[in-house]
């Protein structure tokens, strides 16, 4: 209580003299330690103190919050594969999928040269499906409780149980003449099963339990000769929209509102990703000393609360998003209840490695 009263007194003094310290505080902000997430509320005294004292945090989320009470779809055991997602398996036809899932919400290019086609109802029952030229399912993903298996692995299973059922995960993957080491942080496990690559992602903030799954046809994966795909405008836009959709699918898991896409702040995010990719650095403060908030103000983005997440080098938006969710600061931005809008900007360096910038904000 004494500490709280002390903070209130300090806050009132700071607020009363704000005209004296606001400009100098703004100049000091870029000199704070560089991380890949940052959050600021211009109209909140508490958030201002947060920006000065990084150990004082004001977050409107509860990590581990459960999804809302909502009737889950009926899931059936897979018929031909070890895993299915909302009763969909590799090899199914598009007509069969859409009989089950309905009309798609978005199609955007992915790293395999196909499209991720998303299906959801206001981001509930969220599934991404990749079809080949014959409209057969070649890839699947979900980060919601839609996983069925023949060995009881499901959303929320712990990593030890998964490995008991599937054995030790792959530690490398061959691409052409090169052998690439895979996940060293154990945020996900890669298995080669049923002529497919199955990646199971874990939530390290919920006891390392299954939080998402990606299933990719073996030949489709091996058809990609490198870890990174040759950049294109279509792939850049695809990664941007996919990261936006993945963020909203995670938010509804935690009973939070869906963010709206903002085209203007997407351009601000893109500019920062391009700057990092072209100039070979990774950080919130650019080479001119501008903070994320300086750049938003420069682009005439009106905001009262804003946050920025950065990611670099992940194979796709799926890997980027799952990594961000396992980093507490990034996770807090993704699950920040005060945010209303999001824009995502992606750029590639000369080695085809993607740089991701997420810019969250509210303007009311």
Cβ-based neighbours of 210, under 8 Å, separated by 6 or more: 147, 153, 154, 155, 156, 157, 158, 159, 162, 200, 201, 202, 203
| Burial 150-171, CB ≥16 within 10 A → b, else e | eeebbbebebeebeeebeebee
Q: Where are the alpha helices (DSSP H) in the chain?
A: 2-16, 18-28, 45-52, 94-101, 159-166, 218-222, 233-253, 263-279, 292-298, 317-325, 328-334
301 near 220, Cβ under 8 Å? no
Cβ-based neighbours of 104, under 8 Å, separated by 6 or more: 98, 117, 118, 119
Element (H, E) at 117: strand 115-121
260-261 and 341-348 as β-strands: parallel, antiparallel, unpaired?
A: parallel
CB-count exposure of residue 97 (10 Å: 0-12, 13-18, 19+): buried
Please give the full DSSP string across 292-318, using - where no structure is assigned: HHHHHHHTT---SEEEEEEEES-SSHH
Among 187, 183, 227, smallest CA distance to 204 is for 187
Q: Cα–Cα distance between 224 and 238 in angstroms, integer?
A: 17
Among 97, 128, 127, 124, smallest CA distance to 110 is for 128
Q: Cα–Cα distance between 299 and 267 in angstroms, integer?
A: 9
| Per-residue DSSP letter, 144 | S
pTM: 0.83
Output the CA–CA distances (angstroms, integers) from residue 197 to 5, 125, 130, 293, in the order listed.
Answer: 56, 23, 14, 41
Between helix 2-16 and helix 45-52 the angle, nearest 10°, is 100
**For every one of its 364 residues, what pLDDT tens digit does the chain have, with 9 covering 90 and above?**
434 444 433 444 444 443 433 343 333 333 223 336 666 544 333 333 333 332 222 333 333 344 455 676 899 999 999 999 999 999 999 999 999 999 999 999 999 999 999 999 999 999 999 999 999 999 999 999 999 999 999 999 999 999 999 999 998 888 777 777 887 778 999 999 989 999 999 999 999 999 999 999 999 999 998 889 999 999 999 999 999 999 999 999 999 999 999 999 999 999 999 999 999 999 999 999 999 999 999 999 999 999 999 999 999 999 999 999 999 999 999 999 999 999 999 999 999 999 999 999 999 8
Q: Cα–Cα distance between 117 and 139 in angstroms, integer?
A: 10
């Amino acid at each position: 209580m004494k500490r709280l009263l002390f903070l209130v007194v300090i806050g009132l003094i700071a607020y009363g003299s704000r005209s004296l310290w606001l400009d100098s505080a703004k100049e000091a902000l870029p000199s704070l330690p560089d991380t890949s997430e940052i959050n600021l509320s211009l109209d909140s005294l508490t958030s201002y103190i947060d920006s000065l004292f990084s150990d004082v945090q004001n977050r409107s989320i509860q990590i581990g919050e459960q999804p809302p009470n909502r009737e889950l779809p009926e899931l059936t055991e897979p018929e031909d594969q070890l895993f299915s997602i909302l009763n969909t398996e590799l090899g199914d036809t598009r007509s069969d999928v859409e009989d089950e899932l309905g009309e798609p919400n978005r199609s955007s290019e992915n790293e395999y040269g196909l499209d991720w086609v998303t299906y959801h109802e206001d981001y509930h029952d969220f599934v991404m499906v990749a079809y080949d030229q014959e409209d057969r399912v070649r890839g699947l993903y979900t980060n919601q409780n839609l996983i069925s298996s023949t060995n009881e692995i499901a959303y929320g299973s712990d990593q030890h149980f998964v490995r008991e059922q599937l054995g030790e995960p792959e530690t490398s993957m061959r691409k052409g003449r090169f052998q690439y080491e895979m996940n060293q942080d154990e945020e996900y496990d890669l298995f080669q099963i049923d002529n497919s690559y199955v990646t199971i992602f874990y939530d390290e903030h919920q006891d390392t339990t299954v939080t998402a799954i990606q299933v990719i046809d073996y030949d489709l994966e091996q058809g990609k000769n490198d870890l990174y795909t040759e950049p294109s405008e279509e792939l850049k836009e695809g990664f941007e929209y996919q990261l936006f959709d993945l963020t909203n699918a995670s938010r509804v898991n935690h009973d939070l509102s869906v963010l709206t896409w903002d085209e203007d702040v997407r351009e601000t995010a893109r500019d920062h990703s391009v700057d990092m990719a072209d100039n070979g650095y990774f950080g919130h403060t650019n080479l001119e000393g501008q903070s994320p908030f300086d750049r938003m103000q420069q682009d005439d983005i009106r905001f009262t609360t804003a946050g920025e997440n950065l990611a670099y080098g992940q194979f796709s938006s799926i890997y980027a998003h799952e990594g961000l969710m396992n980093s507490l600061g990034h996770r807090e931005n993704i699950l920040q209840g005060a945010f209303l809008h999001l824009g995502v900007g992606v750029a590639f360096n000369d080695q085809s490695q993607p740089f991701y910038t997420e810019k969250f904000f509210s303007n009311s």
